[in-house]
Structure 1
């Protein structure tokens, strides 16, 4: 090829998908050194918009809330270092904003992702700490990751042959984490046939064993069985003098409930983002919500009885009613089921969502306290009032807390506050 996929991806790492496109707005170029991202100092991590000069909705990321949650997870883990997963665009909040923030905290020793583009974007955003890609990747992608200092995961039977070929091209061994399936039965090398496979990989000059890990299913009794299987495999590997590198297994759930699964680092994710593993965990840690969805009022109109609102129409006013329009809708991640169920905070007062939520618009009834002006900031989701907290909005809208966060439009500006 005239231009390799590696050099292409490295050059557009901040322009690919979701929050990665943040950097495209700046037009910043990445200088290359053998395909690796080497100069990221001029790359903006924020898309334009969501400012006093824009009516675009935006998402605010609360840096201090993240710091609080990292401290709480560290406390729950007894000081064990944290590997912070920022997969799936940092669970919807924006990986190239959240990733560098988490990497700046001393309790966080490394980051993890599940997409090649995520790892490249984190490097482009200035993350220097170790990064693990937790998915199986192609040979071309292995090369891209290694050139950008990102460790890879493997679990397929032919991993050795593929690593040999990549290592020969690069002229150096590949840092690898063994992913062991102990009962999730989704990904990973099955634990009951992993030992000879690990032994084969470890003896190859193409492989540098960087770690070994498993994933639990988040059921305490089943997790204990998985942990026993994992521990047995580790013991057998040590008898065979197989290097293991960093041992990790514990997500947020087992960080709370299974301390013996901490090993060398806890791979806690959702707790860092303010989500408890279950209702019982609320009393065990003081986690904070880390984000807000906000927009400005762009229109105010008083309607008379009998007038209708929106397509359909689905809403008819029965008395003189003052309505405010917010330029944020379902494509931005605000659930359409919020109509008649959720409220919006403006100037310390809550106003009901009425009518219908379109792809880019939400209508609220401000008749009860109509001292609202065009340009006022409205908070649709955030920690500023119990009725608009993420968990409350999710419940009122009939979706999960994680779903509410992960569905946020990756093109919305992210503001670090």
Structure 2
């Protein structure tokens, strides 16, 4: 057992999926992206939750795809990233849809297809400007034609990925233009075309094509401030609900006189008599050390400041203003809490701002060993 846990709202995730489906319309498929433990929300449970609402699921690795198959998920699964050769045979057997980002890799899959007697569905990755996996746009036409001649492969999709759809719309439009130049030279009947992520779905509607990939938005988080502004201006009226609450309990309370040093390095010294609570959670659990002396938690709906350095497995907070506080009181590290008429929230964006990162990192770095508890 761990002394901290993550509560995930099923209804929030389903709401967010439905909201994005409303925005793109019935002609465009939505592929929920469940990579990195479903952005910290629990891959297997989220997959089972959304499977009946979509036609395909996306993950980042073959390991994730094979785990979903082992846990009973039969929906088509597409792998977004690198697929190691030693797992390809299992992928073919389990009917996993694979990314193809080089002719050499396509040839390897073709050989496996021939040996197994199974056709393999592949999605061809075009690098339009992110400079990661994929074939450069200038070589893409020849690449597509070469792969189409390989036996045992079915080109199920052609796709690309944006570098800055959250904030750089000029470069994003250049990527779309590059992609369209390729598509206009191909016969794509029945082929899934997908480019848009959570941000581009909102900021660049022309990038939706026949399918979109919904990552961070599925979990009720906005891809960026600018994406929200553009969405609001477009009249989407997108009602996202953050799905995650991260909780723990108070394990000790003590009264400290003024001038008491707190934590490693004595980076905090009490200025007055302080009631301090100790929480059994730290940076091993994913509560970032850079939140030391910066962030707040919620106790009985009230904000309580973190005191001193966050330790590997412990964090100290000031509960002086919380009436009736006691050991075992529930504490919210991330999310919302209500206690009677007192309500508070610590948002993912707030924590991200404190440590100089993005909301994606905050949720994906919550230790996957911590229990995920699924609530309505």
Q: Same fold (TM over 0.5)?
A: yes
Which residues in structure 2 correspond to 1:262-281 (within 5 Å)? 262-281=208-227
Q: Does 1:367 align with 2:367?
A: no
CA 1:160–1:380 in structure 2 vs 1: closer, same or farther (change >3 Å)?
A: closer
Other structure's SS at 1:402 match: helix
Aligned partners of 2:61 and 2:82 also within 8 Å: no
Query: 2:300 aligns to what?
Result: 347
CA 1:66–1:305 in structure 2 vs 1: closer, same or farther (change >3 Å)?
A: same
Query: 1:223 aligns to what?
Result: 172
Q: Does 1:252 align with 2:198?
A: yes
Q: Does 1:411 align with 2:369?
A: yes
Residues of 2 paired with 1:243 and 1:143: CA distance?
28
Deviation at 1:99, TM superposition (A): 2.5
Query: 1:9 aligns to what?
Result: none
Aligned partners of 1:212 and 1:244 also within 8 Å: no
Q: Does 1:57 align with 2:4?
A: yes
CA 1:174–1:361 in structure 2 vs 1: closer, same or farther (change >3 Å)?
A: same
Aligned partners of 1:113 and 1:133 also within 8 Å: yes
Task: Give CA-to-partner distance per residue, 1:138-159, whole Å, 9 cap, x none.
Answer: 3332212122221001121213
Aligned partners of 2:114 and 2:151 also within 8 Å: no
Residues of 2 paired with 1:185 and 1:317: CA distance?
50
Alignment gaps of 5+ in structure 1: 1-48, 51-55
Q: From the two aligned structures, give the one with the greater strand fraction.
A: 2
Aligned partners of 1:331 and 1:359 also within 8 Å: yes
Other structure's SS at 1:416 match: strand
Task: Give CA-to-partner distance per residue, 1:355-388, whole Å, 9 cap, x none.
Answer: 2210111111112224112111100110345551
Deviation at 1:95, TM superposition (A): 1.7
List structure 1 segments (4+ residues) > 4 angstroms apart after TM superposition.
none
Which residues in structure 2 correspond to 1:231-250 (within 5 Å)? 231-238=180-187, 245-250=191-196
Residues of 2 paired with 1:127 and 1:362: CA distance?
38
Query: 2:352 aligns to what?
Result: 394
Which residues in structure 2 correspond to 1:76-155 (within 5 Å)? 76-79=23-26, 80-104=28-52, 106=53, 108-155=54-101
Farther-moved stretch of structure 1 (159-168 vs 248-257): 159-168
Residues of 1 paired with 2:308 and 2:330: CA distance?
20
How many residues of Structure 1 are paired with residues of Structure 2 in the alignment?
Answer: 359
Farther-moved stretch of structure 1 (366-375 vs 288-297): 366-375
Aligned partners of 1:111 and 1:129 also within 8 Å: yes
Aligned partners of 1:250 and 1:261 also within 8 Å: yes
Aligned partners of 2:285 and 2:313 also within 8 Å: yes
Deviation at 1:335, TM superposition (A): 2.0
Aligned partners of 1:153 and 1:178 also within 8 Å: yes
Deviation at 1:103, TM superposition (A): 2.2
Other structure's SS at 1:236 match: coil
CA 1:232–1:244 in structure 2 vs 1: closer, same or farther (change >3 Å)?
A: farther
CA 1:134–1:280 in structure 2 vs 1: closer, same or farther (change >3 Å)?
A: closer
Deviation at 1:193, TM superposition (A): 1.7
Alignment gaps of 5+ in structure 2: 338-342
Farther-moved stretch of structure 1 (192-201 vs 79-88): 192-201
Residues of 2 paired with 1:408 and 1:209: CA distance?
36
Other structure's SS at 1:351 match: strand
CA 1:370–1:338 in structure 2 vs 1: closer, same or farther (change >3 Å)?
A: farther
User: What TM-score, normalized by structure 2, do the two folds share?
Assistant: 0.88
Query: 1:158 aligns to what?
Result: 104
Residues of 2 paired with 1:244 and 1:216: CA distance?
23
Query: 2:330 aligns to what?
Result: 377
Q: Does 1:326 align with 2:274?
A: no
Residues of 1 paired with 2:317 and 2:114: CA distance?
62
Query: 2:309 aligns to what?
Result: 356
Aligned partners of 1:160 and 1:200 also within 8 Å: no
